[in-house]
Structure formats: structure tokens, C-alpha cells
Amino acid sequence: MSATGLVLWAAAFAAGLALWRRDRAAVAAGGRFALGTLKTVLPIMLLALPMAGFLTVLVPDRFAAILFGAETGLRGHLVATVVGALIPGGPFVSFPIVLALWSSGAGPAQMVTLISAWSVLAVNRVVVWEAPLMGWRFVALRLATGFWLPLASGLAAEALLALLPPGAVGR
């Protein structure tokens, strides 16, 4: 098993133990929640993984490097903001797309911007969920306070990457 797997299993075990000491019934509730999520996520994942493969094969080599490679600077971050805002659907769509772009040469900081733009700006989610549930007034408040967040997170990622040894985050 990978190091990630070991760390996650250790963290899950520790969280379960802490919860068991406090409230034994809550451990069962957490387990049921995990099982319920699995039932929701598994069918979606089994369709999303082939899509990740198709997209990785389809996106031409170096295509993402030209659009938003590590050396494209501010322009790459702005392109990533627009692309991220237009990606529809949940994480089962966006993360496979990011994987395909990354394999085709996108920079890690630019992908941080793209995921933030998809998280905060997501045109599709605003129209389908947020506006009907919350009203356009709330949408306007959230966009007025949040439009700059994708770029800020990408630039913060650039600053963090500058502190790390080269190749610490890469494909």
C-alpha cells in the first residue's frame, strides 16, 4: 500500500478511536455515513475513471503546457480561471479533467487556480443550485467577495512552490 493509504488509514483509525471514547454510537453513525457515501460515489467513480483515461489520451501532448504550463505566469492563471469557471458538474468531472491537463503539461500552481475557479465561480452550479436556493442577491454578494480568490490561491501556490524543492509537486 502507498504511503498515502497508510497515513489515511492511520488517521481514520485515530479519528474512530477518539470518537469511540467520546460517544460510541457516533462511531456507528460515522460508519453508516461512510457506507452511504460509498454507495453514492462508487457508481459515479466507475464512470469517471474511464473518462479520466479518455481525456488523458485525447488532450494532445503539451497542449495544456501552452495554455497554462508552469512558465506561463499570470496569463496562465487567467486562462485557468476562465476554464475552471466553465467546467460543469461535481468533483467527478473536474478532477479527471485536471488529471488530463496535468499529464499534458499544466503547471501545479495553475491547476490550483483552475480548481479554485471551478469551486468558487462554477457557472453551472450557480445557475442550477445557488441562484434558485439562495437568490441572486446572495450570488452577487458571494461573487463580489470571491471573484479574486482563484487568482489569489494560484499565486499563493506559486509562493509555496518557491519554498519547496523543485519537483516536490509534480507528475
Partner 1 sequence: MPPSPSPPAPLRQAAQRTSLAVVAALSAASGLACWLLRGSAGLAEAFGIAWSLFLTILPVLGAALLLAGFVQAGIAKETIARWLGAESGLSGLLVATLAGIATPGGPMAAFPLVLALAAGGADRGALIAYITGWSLNGLQRILVWEVPILGPEFAGLRFLASLPLPVLAGLIARRLPRWER
Residue carrying the nine cell digits 453514492? 40
Site for partner 1 contains 98 (CB under 8 A): yes
Closest to partner 1 by CB, 30 vs 73, is 30
Site for partner 1 contains 127 (CB under 8 A): no
Site for partner 1 contains 80 (CB under 8 A): no
The radius of gyration of the chain's CA atoms, rounded to the nearest angstrom, is 19
Site for partner 1 contains 72 (CB under 8 A): no
- Give the residue from 128, 111, 116, 115 showing the smallest Cα distance to 171: 111
Q: Which of residues 76, 84, 96, 107 is near partner 1 by CB under 8 A?
A: 96
Site for partner 1 contains 82 (CB under 8 A): no
Site for partner 1 contains 102 (CB under 8 A): yes
CB-based contact 68:102 (threshold 8 Å)? no
Near partner 1 by CB under 8 A, which window of 43-51, 64-72, 76-84? 43-51
Q: What is the DSSP string of 15-62?
A: HHHHHHHH-HHHHHHHHHHHHHHHHHHHHHHHHHHHHHHHHHHHSPTT
Site for partner 1 contains 26 (CB under 8 A): yes
